[in-house]
A and B are shown apart, each in its own frame.
Chain A
């Protein structure tokens, strides 16, 4: 198989891995087996996979309260992720983080920041460190549309602009901040318009088209890596699940939801791949392998030990 095809199939595999992971987690959660709360990523897979595929080793991302997709796209071990969701000692944060704080710095993922807008200055600081240490790494800051109304968005993009930092601010615009539609909370038609306040490039891309996301992310990452400063990259997408827990998302109109399901990224990419002559069996085979991998992760997580109660007291100070 040609290297280009391999790359496309890897995009596909990662998107399906995210989708199947999230569907399995949803089930475990609804069955009452999994503790805590969850914010899921179904429908936005092309954003994480397209952007993270444009990064190299040493680059780093910050994530949000909806981090599972970003973690998988950065290549984190899904067994450790699943164990973290169960609060087990084998989890990526030893059970101290949970769904909203998962991360693995060795894979370039800062523990996810679950305060909306909280990660934007931190990603900016990572960019400052790369610049001061004269390293050609890039920091990517994932955020939702809602975060662009936070003060930290303004403070951070302004600083990244004046200091010309290697940061890519990725806004996954899924139209809703929790249950509130974007039209109720901002007047601009495109969030990327806000970039003009900082005199940095503001770009909007189809966040459900993994190849377009990849291409725009590559350009932004390249700008950052070559010392040409930050970019605000808005990705238009849709969350085809509730905001959290058992949210039935009744605020999403039926017609809008129906359209979104037709436009969802994995279906679109599958159609594209088959139009290139890749067989549906090949794609099914990938999905089946992914499902096995997930079952293995669930088994690992469920069989892993709980942390000891007194482990609570560890890890506060070095």
Chain B
């Protein structure tokens, strides 16, 4: 048992999977450069020493190397594609949306495309093009599984499952949760480290987890927002409001059962997201709850989300923009006041 940061846990998962299966390899920008960073956030740091032929550093050619990863997967390789910032996924969007997501389906199920994609996200004082939350852009794209680990333990177990999955899997990793050290330390980081067991484990894709038990309201949150929801729950506790926190851990497939079970108990739901409100993950959850679970509710569904603008740079503006514990507390109180 050792306490690892999220970046270290991801690195351990990659190392173990590369040791287990020689078809697993990493491809991306600024990985495997001696004296470099191990990707933008240290996840692959040093792996090139152990696997000199399987850490493939690319030119700045996102569309190109996402397609290369896909092509290689058709002949039995299992690529882990690394992009510096999630925002750059848009450069590779044809390969992701038209090729990676669809090739198996178009083939009538004859092909397997086990491509793992890793993308750092989150608002971190970098302005509009190095910050975005991207889940909504990919959630509506059939053919790709989407993982959103909030802790080091989950990150390791989910990444290992992703590598073993025969389907394309996209993992969003939050920059404030990596726990990167040294020159790559991220100001404002949140501790997402975990005790990692010595023995091997994986976490099944599609299973959410109850992070905190409660009876008054269900808060659904992922990545950094899961941690903000925990802060909010502490604050609410002081006012004798007991919040239950659900971390779905995966957006596709989504664990609807765990949501149903929770709101059947609490009767109230607040969905927290870091991305803009319009067409977001919260919209989909709210719609499904309205369609299938309305009878459980004693209060309207509430969303906490960013405004529908690009991310501003100024710290003063970013604070307004990003969802936080105070905003979650306010939202919870609003629906409790209506319904009690």
Q: A123 on the interface (CB 8 Å rule)?
A: yes
When distances are taken between beta carbons in the complex, the residues of chain A under 8 Å from B61 are 155, 158-159
The reply to whether A121 and B108 form a contact with Cβ atoms under 8 Å apart is no
Q: A152-B63, A155-B61, A156-B64 given as contacts; is B108 within 8 A of A118 (CB)?
A: no
Q: How far is the CB of B164 from chain A (nearest CB, A)?
A: 11
- Chain A contact-residue range equals 35 or more
- B68 lies within 8 A of A93 (CB): no
Residues of A within 8 A of B105 (CB): 96, 315-316
Q: Is the CB of A152 within 8 A of B108?
A: no
Cα–Cα distance between A159 and B69 once the two chains are bound (Å): 12
A54 within 8 A of B: no
Expressed in whole angstroms, the Cα–Cα distance for A2 and B252 within the complex equals 60
Given known contacts A97-B107, A120-B67, A152-B64, is B59 in contact with A162 (CB within 8 Å)? yes
Q: Which of B63, B104, B167 has the most CB of A within 10 A?
A: B63
Whether the pair A316, B104 counts as a contact (CB closer than 8 A) is yes
Cross-interface CB contact of A159 among B58, B111, B142, cutoff 8 Å: B58
- Inter-subunit contact B107/A103 (CB<8 Å): yes
Cβ–Cβ contact A156 & B104, under 8 A: no
Instruction: Let me know if B104 and A315 touch, CB within 8 A.
Output: yes
CB of A124 within 8 A of CB of B64, answer: yes
| Nearest residue, chain A, Cβ from B69 | A125
Point out the residues of chain A lying under 8 angstroms from B165, CB to CB.
318
Contacts of B184 in A (CB 8 A): none
A266 contacts chain B at the CB level, 8 A cutoff: no
The answer to whether B98 and A118 touch across the interface, beta carbons within 8 angstroms, is yes
Tell whether A121 pairs with B98 under 8 Å between CB atoms, given A97-B106, A158-B59: no
Q: Check if B103 sits within 8 Å of A129, measured CB to CB.
A: no
The reply to whether the CB of B161 lies closer than 8 angstroms to some CB of chain A is no
Contacts of A120 in B (CB 8 A): 67
Q: Shortest beta-carbon distance, A142 to chain B, in Å?
A: 14
Binds B, one of A34-42, A109-117, A169-177, A186-194: A109-117
CA distance A126 to B72 in the complex (A): 5
A132 near B142: Cβ-Cβ < 8 Å: no
Contact of B167 among A93, A133, A318 (CB under 8 A): A318
CB-based contact B112/A128 at 8 Å: no
Tell whether, in the assembled complex, residue A133 and residue B70 are in contact, meaning their CB atoms are under 8 Å apart.
no
Interface residues of A in 90-142 (CB under 8 A from B): 91-97, 101, 103-105, 110-111, 113, 115, 118, 120-130, 132-133, 139
The verdict on A262 contacting chain B, using a C-beta distance below 8 Å, is no
CB-based nearest B residue for A95: B108
Residues of B within 8 A of A103 (CB): 107
Q: Which residues of B contact A101 (CB under 8 A)?
A: 106-107
Would you give the shortest CB distance from B67 to chain A, in whole angstroms?
Answer: 2
Q: Which of B30-60 contact A (CB under 8 A)?
A: 53-54, 56, 58-59
In the complex, which residues 52-109 of chain B have their Cβ closer than 8 Å to any Cβ of chain A? 53-54, 56, 58-59, 61, 63-77, 94-95, 98-99, 103-109
Partner of B108, one of A97, A113, A139: A97
A124 touches B103 (CB 8 A): no
Count chain A CB atoms within 10 A of each CB in B74, B111, B143 and give the residue with the most.
B74
Which residues of chain B have C-beta atoms less than 8 A from A305's C-beta? none
Q: For the complex, is B110 an interface residue (Cβ under 8 Å from A)? A: yes
A227, CB-defined interface residue at 8 Å: no
Q: Are B63 and A105 in contact (CB under 8 A)?
A: no
Interface residues on B, range: 35 or more
Binary contact readout B140-182 vs A (1 if CB under 8 angstroms, 0 otherwise): 0011010000000000000000000111000000000000000
- B195 to A: closest C-beta gap in Å: 32
* With A93-B110, A316-B142, A318-B166 as contacts: A126 and B65 at CB distance below 8 Å: no
Min Cβ gap B166→A in Å is 4
* Complex CA distance for A115 and B142, rounded to whole angstroms: 18
Chain A window 45-61, contacts with chain B (Cβ cutoff 8 Å), 1 for yes, 0 for no: 00000000000000010
Partner of A126 from the list B71, B95, B145 (CB cut-off 8 Å) is B71
Q: CB-CB < 8 A to B111: which residues of A? A: 105, 110-111
B25: interface (CB < 8 Å): yes
Give a binary string over A273-296; 1 marks a CB under 8 Å from any B CB, 0 the rest. 000000000000000000000000
Looking at B54, B59, B94, B104, which has the most chain A CB atoms within 10 Å of its CB?
A: B94
Q: Per-residue 0/1 for A139-152: is the Cβ within 8 Å of any B Cβ (1 yes, 0 no)?
A: 10000000000011
| Most A C-beta atoms less than 10 A away, residue of B54, B67, B73, B74 | B67
Which residue of chain B has its CB nearest to the CB of A89?
Answer: B108
CB distance from A73 to the nearest CB of B (A): 19
B76 with A139: CB separation less than 8 A: no
Residue pairs across A and B with Cβ atoms less than 8 A apart, 14 shown, are: A93-B108, A96-B106, A97-B107, A105-B111, A115-B99, A122-B95, A124-B71, A125-B67, A128-B71, A129-B77, A152-B63, A152-B67, A155-B64, A316-B143
CB-CB nearest 9 A-B residue pairs? A125-B71, A121-B67, A155-B64, A315-B109, A94-B108, A155-B61, A129-B75, A125-B68, A318-B166
**Beyond A96-B106, A97-B108, A121-B70: 13 further Cβ-contacts under 8 Å?**
A60-B75, A93-B110, A104-B110, A105-B107, A115-B94, A118-B94, A121-B71, A124-B68, A128-B71, A151-B63, A159-B59, A315-B105, A315-B107
